[in-house]
Structure 1
């Protein structure tokens, strides 16, 4: 029984010593709140909804004209496809290819 009490005392003492030594290191490396609330600059690689809407207007203007020409032709049906990756392989030149099929 004495051995168990002594072992628990040693473990508690080691834990307290560890806490005291780590407390100073944690306080020194603490990040100030002002540094975490900085705003990041807008990257050119990101798109907003406005960018996508403008792109849609430019790219599909002819398509929209054709769709407007179909007035009175019944309900419009839009086909939605999904590309699924099939695989990739290396050619003799070290170039790779990828295959997709539409669902």
Structure 2
């Protein structure tokens, strides 16, 4: 199956040895449910800036995602913005 020219591999995963393994229906269902409850925000920094961000995350002992989210939380608190919006108050921008 392809989406926008990218091949989706939903039904297999690769174990530590590099062998393809079947993914159970329960795992697929749990993954779908988890992903449905999450937002997706993509950033595309220049390579050098991306490398610096990754290095800072490693130095802090955090995952890249947690490092970025913590930085955003701190910035939003500094600016006096709410960290969560009321249901239905999402901005469409």
TM-score by length of 1: 0.22
Larger helix proportion of the pair: 1
Higher RCO (Cα < 8 Å, 6 or more apart): 1
Q: Which has the larger radius of gyration?
A: 1
TM-score by length of 2: 0.23
